[in-house]
């Protein structure tokens, strides 16, 4: 009987991938972390990339007592919840385990996103959590604003569901995330470093890593094999870990040439967003008239998305504030911004040769400026939490 018990224990040990005794990881008193990678790829433009992303994540996995879960919704298959396993002393080769298989569903609906978030927090508890959200996105803009892409956050083009070709509103995305449990949210998607986004998520996460402009494909896929480890290193602060991850990506992009040498990335500490709304509100309630928006730094490529009229929608926050503030007001806002944007980097040119633009100013946050040519956006903007806090 004892021999059978020993054999059974050995089978369990290898089946589970790693055991607590003998693995090389954090000290027992280090906090545990669960990171959810949400791959909303049920659309023609991203599905193939996201399959390669899973493999890249697998290559970067090493067991440290923490957990990495991957929700993936590809075009040609049903959604699944995966777990990275192995990568330890007893099972050194990382592998992928299927935790759950779902029926066809709309991964860009707030109900599905919220259910996955709840499953992760409830079924896989940890001291801290992180989220990597990978899909299409356009910041605070309402869905179906940009003609070709028609997305706000997420994009599911599966016509087999009742909500096919759907997207999430920023408010619904935020509502699906539990308050105060997430150390960080990394947006592996476009145009999410808006002040409107950071303010909406201020009670949902401590840090946001996002791009003021678009995120050029294949996103973070090339750096995951070497840099994923930072996101699970609870021996260092969350801020330090995210800075290391972001720096690796920026350095990688700088090895490229032409349009592929394009990035804007910033690390945003959300705890000071209320302070920023107070200071910025003192300016915005009195003066929103910019002398000429054509001279402001913008981060989108108007006309590249089938959008009309052709005019920028994402302006540099501090460049905008400078044109409507007194020197004293600007200095006060700048002091808070130095606490909010704890790291930032940008290439000199974005998407050179593809309706791109030069980057001469990059504060790490963008802001929408109302224009007569965007009546629908102007009507929607006052509904944002940022606008309501500053007007």
Mean pLDDT to the nearest integer, 354-368: 98
Q: What is the pTM of this model?
A: 0.91
Strands across the sheet containing 264-269 = 95-101, 80-85, 67-73, 33-40, 128-134, 182-188, 205-210, 264-269, 341-346
Per-residue pLDDT band for 381 (boundaries 50, 70, 90) equals very high
Per-residue pLDDT band for 15 (boundaries 50, 70, 90) equals very low
Say if residue 2's pLDDT is above 90.
no
Same domain, 107 and 244: yes
Number of domains in the chain: 2
Mean pLDDT to the nearest integer, 210-224: 96
Decide if 24 is inside a domain.
no
For 242-280, b where at least 16 C-beta lie within 10 A, e where not — what string?
Answer: bbbbbbbbbeebeeeeeeebbbbbbbbbbebbebbbebb
Half-sphere exposure of 338 (CA within 13 A, CB side): 6
Say if residue 70's pLDDT is above 80.
yes
Say if residue 121's pLDDT is above 70.
yes
pLDDT for 136 equals 84
Same domain, 309 and 348: yes
Same domain, 65 and 93: yes
For 25-43, b where at least 16 C-beta lie within 10 A, e where not — what string?
Answer: bbeeeeebbbbbbbbbbbb
Query: In the predicted model, what is the mean pLDDT of the chain?
Result: 87
pLDDT for 177 equals 95
**Under 8 Å between Cβ of 89 and 18:** yes
Mean pLDDT to the nearest integer, 281-287: 90
The residue out of 221, 239, 269 marking a domain boundary is: 269
Mean pLDDT to the nearest integer, 246-274: 98
Q: How far is CA 235 from CA 64, 230, 231, in A?
A: 11, 10, 11
- Residue 376 lies in domain: 275-390
pLDDT tens string 31-67: 899 999 999 865 556 667 788 999 999 999 999 889 9
Same domain, 120 and 142: yes
Per-residue pLDDT band for 142 (boundaries 50, 70, 90) equals confident
Same domain, 159 and 299: no
Per-residue pLDDT band for 145 (boundaries 50, 70, 90) equals confident
Decide if 1 is inside a domain.
no
Neighbours of 111 (CB within 10 A): 13
CA distance 64 to 37: 17
Decide if 4 is inside a domain.
no
Residue with tokens 């990678």: 37
Say if residue 170's pLDDT is above 80.
yes
Decide if 312 is inside a domain.
yes
The residue out of 269, 295, 310 marking a domain boundary is: 269
Per-residue pLDDT band for 369 (boundaries 50, 70, 90) equals very high
């Amino acid at each position: 009987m004892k021999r059978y018990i020993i054999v059974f224990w050995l089978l369990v040990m290898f089946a589970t991938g790693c055991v607590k005794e003998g693995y090389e990881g954090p000290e027992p008193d280090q906090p545990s972390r669960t990171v959810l990678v949400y791959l909303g790829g049920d659309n023609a433009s991203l599905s193939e990339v996201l399959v390669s992303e899973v493999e890249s994540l697998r290559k970067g996995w090493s067991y440290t007592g923490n957990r990495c879960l991957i929700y993936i919704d590809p075009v040609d298959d049903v959604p699944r919840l995966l777990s990275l396993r192995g990568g330890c002393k007893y099972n050194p080769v990382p592998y992928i385990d299927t935790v759950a298989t779902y029926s066809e569903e709309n991964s860009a609906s707030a109900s599905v996103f919220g259910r996955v978030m709840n499953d992760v927090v409830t079924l896989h508890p940890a001291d801290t959590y992180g989220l990597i959200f990978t899909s299409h996105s356009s910041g605070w803009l309402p869905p179906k604003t940009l003609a070709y892409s028609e997305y706000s956050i997420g994009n599911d083009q599966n016509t087999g569901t009742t909500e096919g070709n759907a997207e999430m509103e920023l408010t619904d995305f935020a509502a699906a995330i539990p308050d105060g449990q997430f150390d960080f949210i990394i947006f592996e998607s476009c145009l999410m470093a808006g002040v409107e986004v950071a303010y909406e998520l201020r009670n949902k996460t401590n840090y946001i890593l996002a791009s003021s402009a678009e995120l050029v494909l294949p996103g973070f896929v090339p750096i995951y094999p070497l840099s994923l480890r930072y996101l699970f290193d609870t021996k260092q602060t969350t801020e330090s870990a995210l800075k290391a991850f972001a720096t690796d990506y920026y350095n990688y992009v700088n090895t490229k040439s032409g349009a592929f040498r394009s990035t804007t990335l910033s690390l945003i500490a959300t705890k000071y967003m209320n302070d920023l709304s107070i200071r910025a509100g003192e300016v915005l309630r009195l003066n929103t008239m910019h002398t000429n928006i054509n001279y402001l730094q913008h981060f989108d490529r108007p006309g590249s998305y089938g959008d009309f009229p052709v005019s920028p929608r994402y302006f540099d926050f501090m460049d905008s504030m400078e044109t409507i503030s007194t020197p004293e007001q600007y200095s006060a806002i700048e002091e808070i911004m130095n606490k909010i944007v704890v790291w930032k980097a940008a290439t000199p040119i974005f998407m050179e040769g593809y309706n791109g633009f030069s980057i001469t100013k990059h504060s790490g946050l963008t802001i929408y400026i109302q224009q007569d040519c965007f009546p629908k956006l102007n009507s929607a903007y006052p509904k944002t939490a940022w606008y309501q806090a500053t007007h």
